[in-house]
Amino acid sequence: MNVFRIAGDLLHCISIFILLHKMRKTRTCTGISRKTLELYAIVFLTRYLDLFTGGYFDSALSLYNTVLKLLFLASTFYCVYLLRVKYRHTYDRSHDTFRVPFLLGAAAVLAFIFPQRYTILEILWSFSQYLEAVAILPQLLLLQRTGEVENLTSHYIFCLGAYRGCYVLNWIWRFFTDSTYRGQYVTWTAGLIQTSLYADFFYYYLKYKKQGRALKLPP
């Protein structure tokens, strides 16, 4: 494990904390895409099936990974609960209209055609990688349709994108230090696609934060 992996995991945890803080503090889920969070719930469910295969505490790294996996699963489902139950009256259904079946279908097809290996767990893992690459699209579309973005919401998305950027640096590091990692084409492809989707958001986020103004995305 290296500093880029640790930084990525830390940013991922911060993004979750910001999202929960935003909803609990304002008692609304305005500006948050339920579809994106539900896609992430599917991503984590299909990726972390190894939680049921044992070896959780074989080493410090196994314990670290297990704790993070449980955290991401629990927090994501809790966020979905907040949007579907507790704060459903504030959910922006009219703008959160991305057709997620297309994303699920495309990820499933790619996982069957281009898995890392042809086993059930590896196909599901590949599906989770492809799906995570595009899971942010409903959230970005919602922000474009609503225009101005709340500060906490923009920080949440920025940290989520920065986490993936750190993971790309982690993969580059491992490419040169771990020869067994060079064949991880599914991870590389999905990660680069996902990071590129944040590029436009990063540009406007940094531009408006530098000016001390609320973030606005062009339609």
User: The tokens 């259904």 sit on which residue?
Assistant: 93
- E-assigned strands of the chain? 148-149, 215-216
- Residue 219's CB is within 10 A of a number of other CB atoms, namely 7
Angstrom distance (rounded) from CA 61 to CA 66:
8
Angstrom distance (rounded) from CA 119 to CA 115:
9
For 125-177, what is each residue's pLDDT tens digit? Answer: 999 999 999 999 999 999 888 877 888 889 999 999 999 889 888 888 887 88
Angstrom distance (rounded) from CA 91 to CA 186:
34
Q: Tell me the pTM.
A: 0.90
Residue among 147, 41, 25, 144 nearest 84 (CA): 41
Burial of 18 by CB count in 10 Å (0-12 exposed, 13-18 middle, 19+ buried)? Answer: buried
DSSP code of residue 136 = T
**Structure tokens that stand for 73 in this block:** 């699963």
DSSP code of residue 52 = G
User: In this predicted structure, what is the pLDDT of residue 50?
Assistant: 79
User: In this predicted structure, what is the pLDDT of residue 60?
Assistant: 63
User: In this predicted structure, what is the pLDDT of residue 171?
Assistant: 84
Angstrom distance (rounded) from CA 41 to CA 103:
14
Q: Among the listed ranges 18-32, 116-130, 138-152, 202-216, which one has the minimum average pLDDT value?
A: 202-216
For 49-74, what is each residue's pLDDT tens digit? Answer: 878 766 555 566 678 888 899 999 99
User: In this predicted structure, what is the pLDDT of residue 140?
Assistant: 92
User: The tokens 């999202």 sit on which residue?
Assistant: 19
Angstrom distance (rounded) from CA 67 to CA 194:
24
User: In this predicted structure, what is the pLDDT of residue 217?
Assistant: 75
The C-alpha torsion from 88 through 89 and 90 to 93, rounded to 10°, is: 70
DSSP code of residue 18 = H
Cβ–Cβ < 8 Å for 138, 185:
no
**In the beta sheet, which residues pair with residue 215?**
149
Angstrom distance (rounded) from CA 24 to CA 58:
36
